């Protein structure tokens, strides 16, 4: 005899836990499965080397599902400026929150802060069940429902199964959904640094020949770095002594933060362009990195995933309210049409920018510099890009609009 839920979500990271909170708040019977229970408390140091740059739309979603207050208590890092410049041209682009109706452009938040706050909220919702640790052994799709078998033999059934288990999603593979994409042959090197000068609540990004270097302001005055490098370079940099790495990093930043004083643990992860050829199957959908993996140069991966979570939650709740099966083909195709085009547009933009800034073509280098400066001095266009980066665009889910 299998245990039946309305919705089963596999993957309790930022995106999966957000979808679970949104559904459970609406009274949908939802089970969240994950292999590990996330940490809820930790020492003040070191800072988590994995952070997310959250847009205004993502803040709206996380506030709506009840996680934002706990995130503020654990610590978030607002930024009100973004400064972008090109190492190979005179191109400069600067965004200022003062040019918007908001006091911040966005927030830099440790991933563990977001996840812990979401799980705290989920545990308070009567319609939510957390099954952890849980490992999936089998997935069976059918016209009527979807069945999951756990490694301990437990059988589960749901009207809808949502895969939020990352870019190497085992569930997506079990469902027979193929992906398209390629490896960038670049790694994202991440670490936490402290510097001589204040970060000035500014997100700094310099485009270098191998890829962009981002310096993201943290709540404690430090910065999280995300440095896109060729794979071999990144691996070499991981082997440098702290002193050697600090010198290399300081040179790469042009000293914008003065002397780089300390660096914490370093890590690197391979970058990939990847999208699911379809977002849905019988009583089954993919969201977040299970649906799309994009270049991190604009920090939009988590934000796109949160929009996925808000969209599938909104459509599921509406279907339930009108008595339509929540795993119906109509509902799931509507989700796919809503999110797939937006995600592909964002992914393609990030891919084009990455290629444009890693080219050896001198003409293109000068053109991009001219283009950056033109945008910087064209108020309406700059405002458009600013609002788009903040997630303030058309056709957003209700949760992302703050309603």
Q: Which residues contact 132 (CB under 8 A, 6 or more apart)?
A: 12, 32, 33, 34, 35, 36, 37
Domain boundaries, the chain: 3-39+46-76+108-181+272-358, 184-271
**Which residue's entry shows tokens 């400026």?**
81
Distance CA 111, CA 301 (A): 12
Q: Which residues contact 399 (CB under 8 A, 6 or more apart)?
A: 22, 60, 61, 64, 65, 310, 313, 314
Q: For helices 14-25 and 56-64, what crossing angle results, to 10°? A: 50
Q: For helices 362-376 and 379-389, what crossing angle results, to 10°? A: 100
- What pLDDT is recorded for position 13? 97
- Could you check whether 3-39+46-76+108-181+272-358 and 184-271 share the same CATH topology? no
Superfamily of domain 184-271: D-Amino Acid Oxidase, subunit A, domain 2 (3.30.9.10)
Q: Residue 48 gets which letter from DSSP? A: P
* Nearest Cα to Cα of residue 77 among 49, 47, 46, 109: 109
- What pLDDT is recorded for position 376? 79
Alpha helix locations (H) across 211-300? 231-239, 242-252
Q: What is the pLDDT of residues 276-315, one digit of tens each?
A: 999 999 999 999 999 999 988 777 889 999 999 999 999 9
Distance CA 66, CA 57 (A): 15
What is the token pair recorded at 182?
């390629």
Distance CA 197, CA 214 (A): 16
Strand-pairing partners, residue 226, are 190, 214
| CATH assignment, 3-39+46-76+108-181+272-358 | 3.50.50.60
Q: Residue 259 gets which letter from DSSP? A: S
- What pLDDT is recorded for position 1? 62
Q: What is the pLDDT along the chain (403 residues), one digit of tens a residue?
A: 679 999 999 999 999 999 999 999 999 999 999 999 998 988 877 888 899 999 999 999 999 999 999 999 999 999 999 999 988 777 888 889 888 888 899 999 999 999 999 999 999 999 999 999 999 999 999 988 899 999 999 999 999 999 999 999 999 999 999 999 999 999 999 999 999 999 999 999 999 999 999 999 999 999 999 999 999 999 999 999 999 999 999 999 999 999 999 999 999 999 999 999 999 999 999 999 999 999 887 778 899 999 999 999 999 999 999 999 999 999 999 999 999 999 998 888 888 888 777 777 777 777 777 777 777 777 777 777 777 777 777 789 999 997 6
Total-model pTM? 0.94
Q: Which residues contact 380 (CB under 8 A, 6 or more apart)?
A: none
Measure the N-to-C terminal CA separation of the chain; round to a whole number of Å: 40
Asked if 272 contacts 167 with a C-beta cutoff of 8 angstroms, the reply is yes
């Amino acid at each position: 005899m299998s245990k039946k839920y309305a919705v089963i979500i596999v993957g309790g990271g930022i995106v999966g836990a957000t979808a679970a909170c949104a559904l459970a708040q609406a009274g949908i019977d939802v089970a969240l499965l994950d292999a590990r229970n996330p940490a809820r408390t930790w020492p003040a140091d070191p800072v988590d080397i994995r952070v997310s740059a959250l847009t205004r739309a993502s803040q709206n979603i996380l506030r709506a599902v009840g996680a934002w207050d706990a995130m503020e208590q654990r610590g978030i890092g607002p930024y009100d400026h973004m400064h972008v410049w090109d190492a190979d041209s005179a191109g400069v682009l600067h965004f200022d929150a003062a040019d918007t109706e908001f006091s911040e452009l966005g927030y830099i938040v440790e991933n563990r802060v977001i996840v812990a706050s979401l799980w705290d909220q989920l545990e308070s919702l009567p319609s939510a069940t957390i099954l952890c640790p849980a490992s999936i052994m089998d997935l069976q799709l059918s016209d009527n429902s979807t069945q999951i078998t756990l490694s301990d033999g437990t059988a589960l059934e749901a009207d809808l199964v949502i895969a939020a288990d990352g870019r190497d999603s085992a569930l997506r593979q079990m469902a027979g959904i193929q992906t398209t994409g390629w490896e960038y042959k670049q790694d994202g090197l991440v670490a936490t640094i402290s510097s001589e000068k204040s970060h000035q609540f500014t997100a700094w990004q310099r485009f270098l020949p191998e890829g962009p270097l981002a310096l993201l302001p943290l709540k404690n005055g430090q910065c999280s770095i995300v440095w896109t490098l060729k794979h071999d370079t990144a691996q070499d940099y991981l082997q440098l002594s702290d002193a050697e790495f600090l010198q290399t990093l300081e040179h790469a930043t042009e000293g914008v933060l003065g002397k780089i004083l300390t660096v914490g643990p370093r890590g690197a992860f391979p970058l990939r362009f990847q999208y699911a050829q379809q977002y849905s199957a019988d009583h089954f959908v993919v969201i977040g990195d299970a649906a799309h993996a994009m270049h991190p140069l604009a920090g939009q991966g988590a934000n796109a995933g949160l929009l996925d979570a808000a969209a599938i939650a909104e459509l599921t709740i509406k279907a339930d309210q009108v008595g339509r099966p929540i795993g119906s083909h109509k509902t799931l195709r509507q989700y796919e049409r809503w999110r797939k085009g937006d995600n592909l547009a964002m992914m393609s933009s990030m891919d084009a920018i990455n290629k444009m800034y890693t080219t050896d073509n001198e003409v293109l280098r000068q053109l991009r510099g001219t283009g950056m400066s033109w945008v910087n001095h064209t108020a309406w266009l700059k405002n458009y890009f600013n609002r788009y980066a903040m997630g303030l665009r058309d056709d957003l889910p209700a949760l992302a609009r703050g309603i």
